[in-house]
Amino acid sequence: MQIGFIGLGNMGAPMAANLAAAGHDVHGFDLAAPCPDGVTPTTSGADAAKGADVGITMLPNGEILRAVAAEVIPALSPGAVLCDCSTVDVESARAVAAQAMAAGLEALDAPVSGGVGGAQAGSLTFMVGGSEAAFASVSPLFEIMGARAVHCGDAGAGQAAKICNNMILGVTMIATCEAFALADKLGLDRARLYDVVSTASGQSWSVTSYCPAPGVGPQSPADNEYRPGFAAELMLKDLTLAQAAAEMVDADTPTGRLASDLYRRFVEDEDGRGRDFSAMLPRLAGRGRDDA
Ligand code: NAD
């Protein structure tokens, strides 16, 4: 396929490189980042998208996506698919899909989980919103860039799945960190708490796959001085998007809101920026009940 790939940052560059390495004709554009090996550089988003069967975007936020889509949509040929893999607000995803379909294109929102390591290894999970036909036509590309693609429903459903998942992740990570911090003060060894919780009803991915306590459970960013991994500011982004979506549809998400407020404080007022999101454990362990 001919592919226009716009946004060649930490995630986009290895994704585009994997498509090129698999034999696709990939034309790339980024405002700042260089084109990876195998990808043909172009001078604008429209130029990258011209004549492409699929336009893929991997951009920082919904505002930038809307601006890039306005430029790219007229450049794609009728019948082509615009596939956005960025994490953006549900409203922007739906607006861009509507604009693309009005221009005779197909559109998918296909945010990912798996991080930079997953993008490099081609093992991402894609959560996809859009038509069955568009999903089927882009599936061979998802298979190259990822290990799994789930068709979640119509336009916006991929973004909805992503923020619901990450709201659970943010909340369970905080709950896990709270429990380890409480255990410390009760004189309960962290390894013994792990032995219990990892097979008991408090079990979650945050405990068994990404344990926030150094030296306990499998290797995780906690064992690497909380270097990300998944940075606290990216968790804050996703929790903020979840709260924006909850506002939009009047959904009551009390612990999601608390998690968003806590990560905002951690990133904006404290030392959380640039640390893994599991560094919530040393933050909580160092505090007392009445600390603001
Ligand atoms: P990044 O900042 O490294 O890359 C974004 C790229 O977009 C940059 O290179 C930037 O120059 C480029 N860009 C911005 N405006 C542009 C424009 N108008 N035209 C062309 N290029 C433009 O970010 P990233 O880590 O690659 O993340 C990309 C998306 O993936 C984000 O939405 C993020 O939330 C999501 N995501 C990231 C991770 C992760 O671990 N990094 C994991 C899952 C999802």
pLDDT-derived band at 290 (thresholds 50, 70, 90) equals confident
pLDDT at 275 over 80: yes
% the chain with pLDDT above 90: 97
Higher pLDDT pick, 27 / 292? 27
Q: Is 30 in the pocket of ligand 1 (CB under 6 A)?
A: yes
Of the residues 50, 162, 185, 237, only one is catalytic, namely: 162
Length of the chain: 292
Look at residue 91 and tell me whether its pLDDT is greater than 90: yes
Do 97 and 109 form a contact (C-beta atoms < 8 A)? yes
Q: Is the CB of 10 under 6 A from ligand 1?
A: yes
**CA 165 distance to own-chain centroid:** 10
SS (H, E, C) 160-209: HHHHHHHHHHHHHHHHHHHHHHHHHHHCCCHHHHHHHHCCCCCCCHHHHC
The answer for 115, left when phi > 0, alpha when psi is -120 to 50, beta otherwise, is left
Nearest CA owner, ligand 1 atom 40: 115
Nearest to 40 by CA among 72, 77, 81, 8: 8
pLDDT tops 80 at residue 292: no
Q: Summarize pLDDT for 249-271 with one digit per residue, the tens.
A: 999 999 999 999 999 999 999 99
147-174 pLDDT, tens digit per residue, is: 999 999 999 999 999 999 999 999 999 9
pLDDT of residue 265: 98
Which tokens hold the place of 213?
């306590």
- Cα–Cα distance, 134 to 80 (Å, whole number): 9
Give dist(CA 30, CA 171) in Å, integer: 34
Ligand 1 center–CA 184 separation, angstroms: 38
| Tokens found for residue 148 | 């799994």
- Enter the pTM of the model: 0.95
- The reported pLDDT for the residue numbered 19 is 98
**Residue 124, beta-bridge partner list:** 146
Mark out the alpha helices in 79-130 (DSSP H runs). Answer: 90-102, 115-121
Catalytic residue status for 162: yes
Residue 180 CB–ligand 1 contact under 6 Å: no
Side-chain-facing half-sphere of 174: CA atoms under 13 Å: 19
Ligand 1 atom closest to the Cα of residue 87 is 32
**pLDDT grade for 48, boundaries at 50, 70 and 90:** very high
Tell me what pLDDT residue 291 has. 87
Give the pLDDT confidence of 198-252 residue by residue, as tens digits.
Answer: 999 999 999 999 999 999 999 999 999 999 989 999 999 999 999 999 999 999 9
Measured distance CA(212)–CA(35) in Å, rounded: 35
Average pLDDT, rounded, for the chain: 97
Average confidence (pLDDT) over 34-51: 97
Q: Please report the pLDDT score of residue 117 as a whole number.
A: 87
What pLDDT shows up at residue 115? Answer: 87
